[in-house]
Structure 1
Amino acid sequence: MSSALTPLFFDGHNDTLLRLLHSGKADPAGRFLQGDGEGHIDLPRAISAGLGGGLCAIFVPSPAGLDAEKNFLPPAQPEALNRTLAMARLLFEIEARSAGGVSVCRSAADIRAAFQRQSFAALLHIEGVEAIGADLDALYVLHQAGLRSLGPVWSRPNIFAHGVPFRFPASPDIGPGLTEAGKDLVRACNELKIVIDLSHMNEQGFWDIAKLSTAPLIATHSNAHALSPHSRNLTDRQLDAIRDSRGVVGVNFGVLFLRDDGVKNPETPLDILLNHIDYLVKRLGVDHVGLGSDFDGTTIPAAMGDVSGLRLIAEGLVSRGYDAETIDKICHGNWLSVLERSLGA
């Protein structure tokens, strides 16, 4: 780390691809590369902030008028597949036009090499795999294209599992777990060395995956239920299972998942975010906590503003007595370590 205040960051989750495509503006790849100043991330701001890369999510929003908590989202919808491919294509176009400034990574070694070149290390992730059918054909094709991480569900049901709905206060123990197709998906992800993200799983689905999967348990963007009793957050028992599997939890910056009152208030103090880091470090140990911002996908504390606010987290950790080695682990090292164990070196 060059300075206690400017570490290298690797982020467990962003929704920037969706933001770029949904803006309706021309040349989304060019706007990311040149810097459009919109949302939370573009390449110039990422470089300035020390953000060396992250899991870049593909997410297909629910169709208009669909109640995500009640209605089953059909599998392998042509629209879901088409939109998934459009976001993947956008990421590959960004890489191709970046003159080496962005690298789509398929292994931990790729990420390390990108860091050395000062190239933004993008790991292709899908959040809710409605584009994939029970035959899993699309999974194998997408893996060949570069897919290395997925969450079986977003917070809605599909053929694989039941995502946890957004409720406060509430336990994550809402609804049934994996279907038989979901169990097949987990086995295939283990075979292909695709990370399985637990962040939007309900509790039963979490335990089904914990029992079946041979990989470290990873929640890319979740917080401590003990501090914020939101259904999307992780109970102590879930945290213990992640620790015991040598997994990682990425702290979500979303104010809905930080606060103890469930209020979507952007004036949430950064100390509340730091409290979640403290809690997770004490529960999991310093080797199992990372950052999972949810940039461009949620309301973050106004004090952060955008990706440039990452330095405030580093400064806050310094003020709480964390040493440089531990800050490096939280900011990027733990992600690299768990991805080595999950994807291979």
Structure 2
Amino acid sequence: MQIGPYRIDPPLALAPMAGVTDKPFRLLCKRLGAGLAVSEMTTADPRLWHTRKSLRRMDHEGEPEPVSVQIAGYDPAMLAEAARFNVANGAQIVDINMGCPAKKVCNVWSGSALLQDEPLVARICKAVAGAVDAPVTLKIRTGWDRQNKNALAIARIAEDAGIAALAVHGRTRADKYEGEAEYETIAAVKASVRIPVFANGDVATPQQARHVLAATGADALMIGRGAQGRPWIFREIAHYLATGEQLPEPAPAEVAAILLGHLGHLYAFYGEQAGVRIARKHLGWYAKDRPENAAFRQVANRAESAQEQLRLVRGYFEALAAGGRLAA
């Protein structure tokens, strides 16, 4: 898959997720097979660009190409300036957020709320695409609610405005993350435009990945929640799509190495206190769907220092390795 001058190979992207796709997680997912990893959304409001939070989100030093940064807002001129600012700070692809369903985002007429105003969508896309030489992508949902699905109209508007690629989450804003993703709408979008399309929604296994590509005709997949606690999902899917064979589950020793490396990067990036706190949700995701790991979650969440957190994690995986397997 091609976005401007950048080849996305494998055609698998880590979806932008607020509070999740920070630099440590993007680097991890890229190392484990993601062809693209999109940043957390950064605000278009210039008054907030120099806060500690924004500066961390704009840190791309050492990040493998292509660096994709998502911007969020509602004012075309402000979004255009945000695109220029982020490109100057290392962004190679700029992604516009019109998919976030969160109330606090939609209430300020950003994210998926913008889907209700097609002329504004056109102005935003034209302003941002015209502001930078870097390719501009757009992430949307299928519509505001099930009575107001306009993904096809938005896709055509985006293409006409110079958007280089489109990611479609197969749910409306009202659906949030409930119910099954509507792949038929993504298929209709793909059939209606010439620009590349990412299919997003419910891709959690290699088999589902192949099904979604077949059902939608999409050029690539975008994976969000499926990568939480399983960052190796990208290499599993890439291998399955290429060979039809399923990779074995990673051994406990490898999972331990991945997780301990991730924790170390979190401590270095955020500082120990914040790193330990942020690590807790990742520890919970690594242990999700594994009932016998409830005790591990409880113990790991009690850790107040990096040293204690690392000790508990190492101890857990040593015990697990002694038992011979990691529960899938």
TM-score when scaled to structure 1?
A: 0.48
Identity %: 10
- 1:250 counterpart residue number: 198
1:241 equivalent to 2:189? Answer: yes
- C-alpha spacing 1:8/1:275, structure 2 compared with 1 (3 Å): same
- Aligned-partner Cα distance in 2 for 1:120–1:57: 16
Aligned to 1:212: 157
> Map of 1:1-345 to 2, 5 A cutoff?
8-9=9-10, 11-15=12-16, 18-19=19-20, 32=24, 41=25, 43=27, 46-47=30-31, 49-58=32-41, 82=48, 86=52, 88-95=54-61, 98=62, 102=63, 119-126=64-71, 129-130=72-73, 132=74, 134=75, 136-146=77-87, 148-156=94-102, 157-158=106-107, 163=112, 177-178=116-117, 180-192=119-131, 194-199=136-141, 201-202=143-144, 204-213=149-158, 214=160, 215=162, 218-220=165-167, 222-223=169-170, 233-234=181-182, 236=184, 238-252=186-200, 257=202, 270-280=206-216, 284=217, 288-294=218-224, 298=225, 300=226, 305-320=229-244
Instruction: Return the letter of the residue paired with 1:309.
Output: I
User: 1:20, 1:176 → 2: CA distance?
Assistant: 24
Change (3 A) 1:144 1:153: same
CA distance in 2, matches of 1:84, 1:14: 24
Give yes or no for contact 2:98–2:115 (8 Å, CA) kept in 1: no
> RMSD between aligned alpha carbons?
4.3
Cα pair distance change 1:312/1:124, threshold 3 Å: same
Q: Separation in 2 of the partners of 1:240 and 1:317?
A: 23
Q: What code does the residue aligned with 1:313 have?
A: I
Secondary structure, aligned partner of 1:56? strand
The answer as to whether partners of 2:30 and 2:37 remain within 8 angstroms in 1 is: no
C-alpha contact 1:216 1:245 (8 A) present in aligned 2? no
Task: Provide the rounded CA distance (Å) in 1 between the counterparts of 2:19 and 2:179.
Answer: 24
Letter in 2 for 1:242: K
1:125–1:10 Cα change, 3 Å: farther
CA distance in 1, matches of 2:122, 2:67: 27
Give 1:137's aligned amino acid. Answer: M
Displacement, 1:198?
Answer: 2.2
CA drift of 1:181 comes to 3.6
Which 5+ residue runs of structure 2 have no aligned equivalent? 1-7, 246-328
Label 1:248 to 1:242 Cα distance change in 2 as closer, same or farther (>3 A). Answer: same
**What's the offset of the Cα at 1:54?**
2.7
Going from structure 1 to structure 2, the CA distance change for 1:45 and 1:85 (only over 3 Å counts) comes to same
RCO greater where, 1 or 2, for CA within 8 Å and sep 6 or more? 1
Q: 1:10 to 1:144 in 2, by over 3 A?
A: farther
1:163 corresponds to which letter in structure 2? S
Question: In 1, are the aligned partners of 2:168 and 2:199 still within 8 Å (CA)?
Answer: yes
Q: Identify the residue that residue 63 of structure 1 maps to in structure 2.
A: none
Change (3 A) 1:179 1:87: farther
Higher helix share: 2
> How big is the shift at 1:241?
3.3
Q: Distance in 2 between matches of 1:85 and 1:220?
A: 29
3-state SS of the aligned residue for 2:190? Answer: helix
Question: Does structure 2 retain, via aligned residues, the 8 Å contact 1:57–1:124?
Answer: yes
Give the whole-Å Cα distance in 2 for the aligned partners of 1:314 and 1:44: 16
Deviation string 1:186-206 (CA, Å, 9 cap, x unpaired) is 331343353222246435442
Distance 1:275 1:55 in 2: 23
Tell me, in whole angstroms, the C-alpha distance in 2 between the residues paired with 1:207 and 1:244: 7
- The equivalent residue for 1:114 is none
Note the C-alpha offset of 1:92.
4.1
Aligned residues of 1:224 and 1:276 also touching (Cα < 8 A):
no
**Which structure's CA Rg is the greater one?**
2
How far the C-alpha of 1:94 sits from its partner, in A, is 4.0
Task: Tell me: CA distance 1:83–1:244, structure 2 relative to 1, closer, same or farther (3 Å).
Answer: same
Q: Are the counterparts in 2 of residues 150 and 196 from structure 1 also a CA contact under 8 Å?
A: yes
Q: CA offset at residue 14 of structure 1?
A: 3.4
Q: Distance in 1 between matches of 2:227 and 2:28?
A: 21
Distance 1:191 1:275 in 2: 36
Cα distance in 1 for residues equivalent to 2:120 and 2:207: 42
Change (3 A) 1:124 1:88: farther
Q: Separation in 2 of the partners of 1:136 and 1:232?
A: 36
2:27 corresponds to which letter in structure 1?
L
